[in-house]
Amino acid sequence: MITPLPHAPDDDLSLQRIAPMTGRAWRVGAGDVVRVADLEGSQVADVFLVDAGDLEDGLSNGRTFDYGGTLSLTVGARLYSSRSRLLATIVRDDVGAHDFLYAPCSQAMFESQYGVSEPHPNCYDNLTGALAEFGVPAATVTIPFNVFMCTSVGPDGRLTILPPRSRPGDVLELRAERDLLVAVSACSASVANGGGARPLGVGVRPSA
Amino acid sequence: MITPLPHAPDDDLSLQRIAPMTGRAWRVGAGDVVRVADLEGSQVADVFLVDAGDLEDGLSNGRTFDYGGTLSLTVGARLYSSRSRLLATIVRDDVGAHDFLYAPCSQAMFESQYGVSEPHPNCYDNLTGALAEFGVPAATVTIPFNVFMCTSVGPDGRLTILPPRSRPGDVLELRAERDLLVAVSACSASVANGGGARPLGVGVRPSA
Cα A82 to chain centroid, rounded? 17
Contact yes or no for B66 and A103 at CB 8 A: yes
Percent of chain A residues topping a pLDDT of 90 = 91
**Whether pLDDT at A7 is above 70:** no
Q: Write out chain B residues lying below 8 Å of A97, CB-based.
A: none
> What pLDDT score does A132 carry?
98
> What pLDDT score does A4 carry?
43
**Whether pLDDT at B4 is above 60:** no
Measure in Å the smallest separation between the Cα of A137 and chain B Cα atoms: 10
Q: How many CB pairs under 8 A join A and B?
A: 109
* Phi, psi (deg, nearest 5) at residue A61: -65, -40
> What pLDDT score does B14 carry?
86
How many whole angstroms separate alpha carbon B118 and alpha carbon B129? 19
Q: Which residue of B has its CA nearest to A156?
A: B72
B168-203 pLDDT, tens digit each: 999 999 999 999 999 999 999 999 999 989 999 999
Taking the Cβ of residue B109 and every Cβ of chain A, the question of whether any pair is shorter than 8 Å is answered with yes
Contact yes or no for B62 and A157 at CB 8 A: no
Contact yes or no for B82 and A63 at CB 8 A: no
**Whether pLDDT at B1 is above 60:** no
User: B46: number of CA atoms within 13 Å, CB side?
Assistant: 32
> What pLDDT score does B11 carry?
61
Measure in Å the smallest separation between the Cα of A185 and chain B Cα atoms: 17
Taking the Cβ of residue B102 and every Cβ of chain A, the question of whether any pair is shorter than 8 Å is answered with yes
Q: Which of A82, A109, A158 sits opposite B70 (nearest CB)?
A: A158
Taking the Cβ of residue B158 and every Cβ of chain A, the question of whether any pair is shorter than 8 Å is answered with yes
Taking the Cβ of residue A78 and every Cβ of chain B, the question of whether any pair is shorter than 8 Å is answered with no
* A110 vs A9: which has the higher pLDDT: A110
Around Cβ B138, how many Cβ atoms within 10 Å? Answer: 15
Cα B173 to chain centroid, rounded? 11
| Of B204, B198, B207, the residue nearest B18 (C-alpha) | B198
Contact yes or no for A61 and B143 at CB 8 A: yes
Taking the Cβ of residue B22 and every Cβ of chain A, the question of whether any pair is shorter than 8 Å is answered with no
Partners of B81 in the beta sheet? B59
* Maximum mean pLDDT: which of A4-8, A12-16, B82-86: B82-86
> What pLDDT score does A12 carry?
60
Query: Which of the residues A48, A50, A143 would you substitute to probe the B interface, choosing the one with the greatest number of B C-beta atoms within 10 Å?
Result: A143
A18-42 pLDDT, tens digit each: 999 999 999 999 999 999 999 999 9
Measure in Å the smallest separation between the Cα of B29 and chain A Cα atoms: 24
**Whether pLDDT at B19 is above 80:** yes
How many whole angstroms separate alpha carbon B15 and alpha carbon A187? 46
Domain limits, chain A: 17-205
Q: Are A162 and A151 in contact (CB under 8 A)?
A: yes
B109-140 pLDDT, tens digit each: 999 999 999 999 999 999 999 999 999 999 99
A39-97 pLDDT, tens digit each: 999 999 999 999 999 999 999 999 999 999 999 999 999 999 999 999 999 999 999 99
* B13 vs A40: which has the higher pLDDT: A40
ipTM above 0.90, yes or no: yes
